[in-house]
Structure 1
Amino acid sequence: MQTTVTLRDVARAAKVSVSTASRALAGGGLTSRATENRLQRIAAELGYRPNTLARGLKTRSTRLVGLVVHNLTNASFRVLAEVVQRRLRAEGYQALLCITADDPEQEAATIETLADQRVDGLIICPTGRNGALLAALEASGTPVTCVVRRDESVELETVLAADPEGAYAGTRHLLDLGHRRIGLVVGRQETTSGRERLSGYRRALEEAGIAFDPSLVHAGRYEPETGLSGCRQLLDRDNRPTALFVANHESSLGVLRGLAERDIAVPDDISLLCYEDVPGFAWQRPAISVVDSGANAMAELAADRLLQRLRPNAAPHVATAREYRIGARLIQRQSCRPVAH
Structure 2
Amino acid sequence: MQSTVTLRDVAQAAKVSIATASRALAGEGLTSRSTEARLRRIAAELGYRPNALARGLKTRTTRLVGLVVHNLTNASFRVLAEVVQRRLRAEGYQTILCITADDPEQEAEIIATLADQRVDGLIICPTGHNGARLAALDSNGTPVTCVVRRDEMVEMETVLAADPEGAYAGTRHLLELGHRRIGLIVGRRETTSGRERLSGYRRALEEAGIAFDPSLVHAGPYEPETGLAGCRQLLDRADRPTALFVANHESALGVLRGLAERDLLVPDDISLLCYEDMPGFAWQRPAISVVDSGATAMADLAADRLLQRLRPNAAPPAETAREYRIGARLIQRHSCRPVAP
Query: Which TM-score tier does this pair reach, normalised by the shorter chain?
Result: over 0.9
How far does residue 321 in structure 1 lie from its aligned partner after superposition? 2.0
Q: 1:217 to 1:112 in 2, by over 3 A?
A: same
Q: Which moved more, 1:29-38 or 1:217-226?
A: 29-38
Tell me how far 1:277 sits from its aligned partner.
Answer: 0.7
Distance 2:291 2:71 in 1: 20
Equivalent residue for 2:202? 202
- What displacement does 1:7 show? 2.2
Q: Is the 8 A contact 1:225 1:254 kept in 2?
A: yes
Secondary structure of the structure 1 residue equivalent to 2:315: coil
User: For each residue in 1:272-322, what CA deviation from the matched residue of structure 2 results, as whole angstroms up to 9, or x when unmatched?
Assistant: 000011111111111100001111111111111111111113113566421
Whole-angstrom distance in 2 between the partners of 1:242 and 1:22:
68
The match for 1:295 is: 295
Q: Unpaired runs of 5+ in structure 1?
A: none
Please state how far the C-alpha of 1:198 moved relative to its aligned partner.
0.6
2:69: which partner in 1?
Answer: 69
- Corresponding position of 1:226: 226
Matched, 1:177 2:177: yes
Q: What are the equivalent positions in structure 2 for 1:131-280 lying under 5 Å apart? A: 131-280=131-280
| Unaligned runs of at least 5 residues, structure 2 | none
TM-score by length of 2: 0.96
In the aligned structure 2, how far is the partner of 1:116 from the partner of 1:4?
27
Measure how far apart 1:191 and its partner are: 0.7
**Structure 2 match to 1:9:** 9
Deviation at 1:5, TM superposition (A): 3.0
Give the % identical residues. 88
Structure 1 counterpart of 2:137, which letter?
L
**2:19 alignment partner in structure 1:** 19
Corresponding residue number in structure 2 for 1:122: 122
Q: How many residue pairs are counted as aligned between the two chains?
A: 341
Q: What is the rounded CA distance, in whole Å, between the counterparts of 1:65 and 1:292 in structure 2? A: 27
- Give the letter aligned to residue 332 of structure 1: Q
- TM-score, reference length from structure 1: 0.96
Q: For residue 257 of structure 2, what is the amino acid of its counterpart?
A: R
Which whole-Å CA distance do the structure 2 matches of 1:2 and 1:136 have between them?
Answer: 44
TM-aligned CA deviation for residue 52 of structure 1: 1.7
Q: Distance in 2 between matches of 1:92 and 1:280?
A: 33
| Two-structure CA RMSD over aligned residues (Å) | 1.5
